[in-house]
Amino acid sequence: MVFVANKVLYIMAKQNVSVSQDDVELADAAELYCEDKTLLAKANALKIHHFKSGKPPRAVISILKIIEELDGLSPGVTVESIGETDIIVEKAAFQKDREEDKTGIGEIVKIIFVALVCFFGSAFTIMAFHNDIALFDILSRIYRLVTGAESDGYTALEISYSIGLAAGIIIFYNHIGGKRLTSDPTPLEVEMRNYERDVNQAIVEMADRQKVEESVGGKE
Protein backbone atom coordinates (compact mmCIF):
# COMPACT_ATOMS: atom_id res chain seq x y z
CA MET A 1 0.00 0.00 0.00
CA VAL A 2 1.65 3.22 -1.12
CA PHE A 3 0.67 6.75 -0.14
CA VAL A 4 1.81 9.98 -1.68
CA ALA A 5 4.43 11.61 0.54
CA ASN A 6 4.52 15.20 1.74
CA LYS A 7 0.81 15.26 2.44
CA VAL A 8 -0.79 16.46 5.65
CA LEU A 9 -3.60 14.38 7.16
CA TYR A 10 -5.68 16.13 9.82
CA ILE A 11 -7.49 14.05 12.45
CA MET A 12 -10.14 15.45 14.76
CA ALA A 13 -10.85 12.54 17.10
CA LYS A 14 -14.11 12.33 19.03
CA GLN A 15 -14.11 11.74 22.76
CA ASN A 16 -16.80 9.08 22.86
CA VAL A 17 -18.34 7.09 20.01
CA SER A 18 -20.88 4.28 19.83
CA VAL A 19 -20.94 1.73 17.04
CA SER A 20 -23.14 -1.24 16.20
CA GLN A 21 -20.60 -3.34 14.28
CA ASP A 22 -17.67 -5.37 15.61
CA ASP A 23 -15.09 -3.71 13.35
CA VAL A 24 -14.45 -0.05 14.11
CA GLU A 25 -12.91 2.07 11.37
CA LEU A 26 -11.14 5.36 11.88
CA ALA A 27 -13.99 7.20 10.13
CA ASP A 28 -16.32 6.01 12.92
CA ALA A 29 -14.25 7.66 15.62
CA ALA A 30 -12.80 10.76 13.97
CA GLU A 31 -13.24 13.34 11.26
CA LEU A 32 -10.40 13.46 8.75
CA TYR A 33 -9.26 15.90 6.11
CA CYS A 34 -6.56 15.65 3.46
CA GLU A 35 -6.09 17.16 0.03
CA ASP A 36 -5.16 13.74 -1.29
CA LYS A 37 -8.53 12.00 -1.65
CA THR A 38 -6.94 8.58 -2.09
CA LEU A 39 -5.02 8.96 1.15
CA LEU A 40 -8.15 10.23 2.85
CA ALA A 41 -10.22 7.22 1.74
CA LYS A 42 -7.57 4.74 2.91
CA ALA A 43 -7.18 6.50 6.24
CA ASN A 44 -10.94 6.52 6.80
CA ALA A 45 -11.03 2.77 6.17
CA LEU A 46 -8.26 2.00 8.67
CA LYS A 47 -9.55 -0.51 11.24
CA ILE A 48 -8.71 0.71 14.72
CA HIS A 49 -10.51 -1.88 16.84
CA HIS A 50 -12.36 -5.19 16.73
CA PHE A 51 -14.85 -6.18 19.41
CA LYS A 52 -14.46 -9.83 20.33
CA SER A 53 -17.23 -12.03 21.64
CA GLY A 54 -17.16 -12.27 25.43
CA LYS A 55 -14.91 -9.23 25.78
CA PRO A 56 -15.94 -5.89 27.33
CA PRO A 57 -18.07 -3.76 24.94
CA ARG A 58 -15.84 -0.73 25.54
CA ALA A 59 -12.30 0.18 24.54
CA VAL A 60 -9.99 3.16 25.03
CA ILE A 61 -7.75 3.87 22.05
CA SER A 62 -4.87 6.32 22.16
CA ILE A 63 -4.58 8.72 19.23
CA LEU A 64 -0.81 8.14 19.33
CA LYS A 65 -1.31 4.50 18.37
CA ILE A 66 -3.53 5.56 15.49
CA ILE A 67 -0.87 8.00 14.28
CA GLU A 68 1.74 5.25 14.58
CA GLU A 69 -0.40 2.96 12.45
CA LEU A 70 -0.90 5.68 9.83
CA ASP A 71 2.84 6.36 9.72
CA GLY A 72 3.46 2.68 9.19
CA LEU A 73 1.01 2.54 6.31
CA SER A 74 2.13 5.76 4.67
CA PRO A 75 5.74 6.79 5.33
CA GLY A 76 6.36 10.49 4.80
CA VAL A 77 2.80 11.61 5.49
CA THR A 78 2.43 14.19 8.25
CA VAL A 79 -0.43 13.47 10.65
CA GLU A 80 -1.84 16.43 12.58
CA SER A 81 -4.16 15.67 15.51
CA ILE A 82 -6.52 18.52 16.40
CA GLY A 83 -9.00 16.57 18.50
CA GLU A 84 -9.05 14.33 21.56
CA THR A 85 -5.97 12.45 22.72
CA ASP A 86 -7.95 9.31 23.64
CA ILE A 87 -11.04 7.79 22.04
CA ILE A 88 -13.62 5.81 24.00
CA VAL A 89 -15.30 3.33 21.66
CA GLU A 90 -18.37 1.48 22.85
CA LYS A 91 -20.43 -1.16 21.12
CA ALA A 92 -24.02 -0.09 21.60
CA ALA A 93 -27.15 -2.21 21.36
CA PHE A 94 -29.12 0.05 19.06
CA GLN A 95 -32.00 -2.41 18.98
CA LYS A 96 -32.99 -0.92 22.35
CA ASP A 97 -33.78 2.35 20.58
CA ARG A 98 -36.44 0.95 18.30
CA GLU A 99 -39.54 3.13 17.95
CA GLU A 100 -41.88 0.38 19.17
CA ASP A 101 -39.88 0.06 22.39
CA LYS A 102 -40.26 3.79 23.09
CA THR A 103 -44.06 3.53 23.10
CA GLY A 104 -44.37 0.26 25.04
CA ILE A 105 -46.14 -0.09 28.38
CA GLY A 106 -42.83 -0.41 30.21
CA GLU A 107 -41.57 2.89 28.81
CA ILE A 108 -44.82 4.65 29.72
CA VAL A 109 -44.66 3.32 33.30
CA LYS A 110 -41.06 4.57 33.63
CA ILE A 111 -42.03 8.02 32.35
CA ILE A 112 -44.94 8.25 34.80
CA PHE A 113 -42.74 7.06 37.68
CA VAL A 114 -39.98 9.57 36.94
CA ALA A 115 -42.53 12.38 36.51
CA LEU A 116 -44.12 11.59 39.90
CA VAL A 117 -40.74 11.39 41.64
CA CYS A 118 -39.66 14.72 40.14
CA PHE A 119 -42.98 16.40 40.98
CA PHE A 120 -43.32 15.27 44.59
CA GLY A 121 -39.59 15.50 45.23
CA SER A 122 -39.46 19.09 43.97
CA ALA A 123 -42.62 20.00 45.91
CA PHE A 124 -41.20 18.55 49.14
CA THR A 125 -37.90 20.40 48.61
CA ILE A 126 -39.67 23.74 48.03
CA MET A 127 -41.90 23.26 51.09
CA ALA A 128 -38.96 22.26 53.27
CA PHE A 129 -37.00 25.33 52.12
CA HIS A 130 -39.95 27.65 52.79
CA ASN A 131 -40.44 26.12 56.21
CA ASP A 132 -36.73 26.49 56.97
CA ILE A 133 -36.75 30.22 56.26
CA ALA A 134 -40.24 30.73 57.80
CA LEU A 135 -41.56 32.22 54.57
CA PHE A 136 -45.17 32.25 55.76
CA ASP A 137 -44.25 34.41 58.75
CA ILE A 138 -42.23 36.76 56.55
CA LEU A 139 -45.07 37.26 54.06
CA SER A 140 -47.58 37.69 56.89
CA ARG A 141 -45.45 40.41 58.48
CA ILE A 142 -45.00 42.21 55.15
CA TYR A 143 -48.76 42.06 54.53
CA ARG A 144 -49.50 43.39 58.01
CA LEU A 145 -46.98 46.23 57.62
CA VAL A 146 -48.40 47.27 54.23
CA THR A 147 -52.15 46.85 54.82
CA GLY A 148 -52.47 46.88 58.60
CA ALA A 149 -54.58 43.71 58.47
CA GLU A 150 -53.73 40.15 59.38
CA SER A 151 -52.99 37.70 56.55
CA ASP A 152 -55.08 34.58 56.20
CA GLY A 153 -52.43 32.93 53.98
CA TYR A 154 -54.36 33.48 50.74
CA THR A 155 -53.68 37.12 50.00
CA ALA A 156 -52.39 38.74 46.81
CA LEU A 157 -48.89 38.54 48.26
CA GLU A 158 -48.90 34.75 48.52
CA ILE A 159 -50.61 34.35 45.16
CA SER A 160 -48.16 36.63 43.34
CA TYR A 161 -45.23 34.84 45.01
CA SER A 162 -46.53 31.46 43.86
CA ILE A 163 -46.99 32.70 40.29
CA GLY A 164 -43.53 34.25 40.31
CA LEU A 165 -41.99 31.04 41.66
CA ALA A 166 -43.58 28.98 38.85
CA ALA A 167 -42.54 31.53 36.21
CA GLY A 168 -38.99 31.61 37.56
CA ILE A 169 -38.68 27.81 37.40
CA ILE A 170 -39.98 27.77 33.80
CA ILE A 171 -37.57 30.52 32.72
CA PHE A 172 -34.63 28.94 34.56
CA TYR A 173 -35.14 25.51 32.99
CA ASN A 174 -35.95 27.07 29.61
CA HIS A 175 -38.88 24.74 28.88
CA ILE A 176 -42.64 24.92 28.61
CA GLY A 177 -43.81 21.38 28.00
CA GLY A 178 -41.65 20.12 25.16
CA LYS A 179 -40.77 23.57 23.79
CA ARG A 180 -37.75 25.73 24.50
CA LEU A 181 -38.05 29.40 25.33
CA THR A 182 -34.64 30.14 23.81
CA SER A 183 -31.99 28.23 21.87
CA ASP A 184 -29.60 28.23 24.85
CA PRO A 185 -28.88 24.90 26.54
CA THR A 186 -30.84 24.31 29.73
CA PRO A 187 -29.08 24.00 33.12
CA LEU A 188 -29.85 20.27 33.11
CA GLU A 189 -28.26 19.86 29.68
CA VAL A 190 -25.17 21.76 30.83
CA GLU A 191 -24.86 19.55 33.90
CA MET A 192 -25.37 16.41 31.82
CA ARG A 193 -22.58 17.46 29.44
CA ASN A 194 -20.29 18.15 32.40
CA TYR A 195 -21.18 14.76 33.87
CA GLU A 196 -20.48 12.99 30.58
CA ARG A 197 -17.13 14.79 30.30
CA ASP A 198 -16.17 13.74 33.83
CA VAL A 199 -17.21 10.13 33.17
CA ASN A 200 -15.20 9.99 29.94
CA GLN A 201 -12.15 11.42 31.68
CA ALA A 202 -12.49 8.87 34.48
CA ILE A 203 -12.73 6.00 31.96
CA VAL A 204 -9.55 7.18 30.20
CA GLU A 205 -7.66 7.56 33.49
CA MET A 206 -8.78 4.12 34.68
CA ALA A 207 -7.67 2.56 31.41
CA ASP A 208 -4.30 4.28 31.71
CA ARG A 209 -3.80 3.07 35.27
CA GLN A 210 -4.83 -0.47 34.43
CA LYS A 211 -2.83 -0.42 31.18
CA VAL A 212 -5.79 -1.68 29.14
CA GLU A 213 -5.64 0.81 26.30
CA GLU A 214 -6.30 -1.09 23.11
CA SER A 215 -3.89 -1.31 20.24
CA VAL A 216 -5.13 -0.25 16.84
CA GLY A 217 -7.06 -2.97 15.09
CA GLY A 218 -7.69 -4.83 18.34
CA LYS A 219 -4.31 -6.56 18.21
CA GLU A 220 -2.98 -7.97 21.47
The whole-number pLDDT of residue 4 equals: 43
The whole-number pLDDT of residue 76 equals: 77
Confidence of residue 75 (pLDDT cuts 50, 70, 90): confident
Confidence of residue 2 (pLDDT cuts 50, 70, 90): very low
For range 34-46, the mean pLDDT: 89
For range 100-111, the mean pLDDT: 76
Rank 94-98, 129-133, 177-181 by mean pLDDT and report only the highest: 129-133
Give all domains of the chain, ordered by start, each with its CATH number: 8-96 (2.60.480.10), 99-208 (no CATH)
Rank 17-26, 177-186, 205-214 by mean pLDDT and report only the highest: 17-26
For range 56-64, the mean pLDDT: 88
d(CA 212, CA 176): 45
For range 72-80, the mean pLDDT: 80
The whole-number pLDDT of residue 117 equals: 94
Quick one: which of 154, 159, 153, 126 has its CA closest to 137?
A: 153
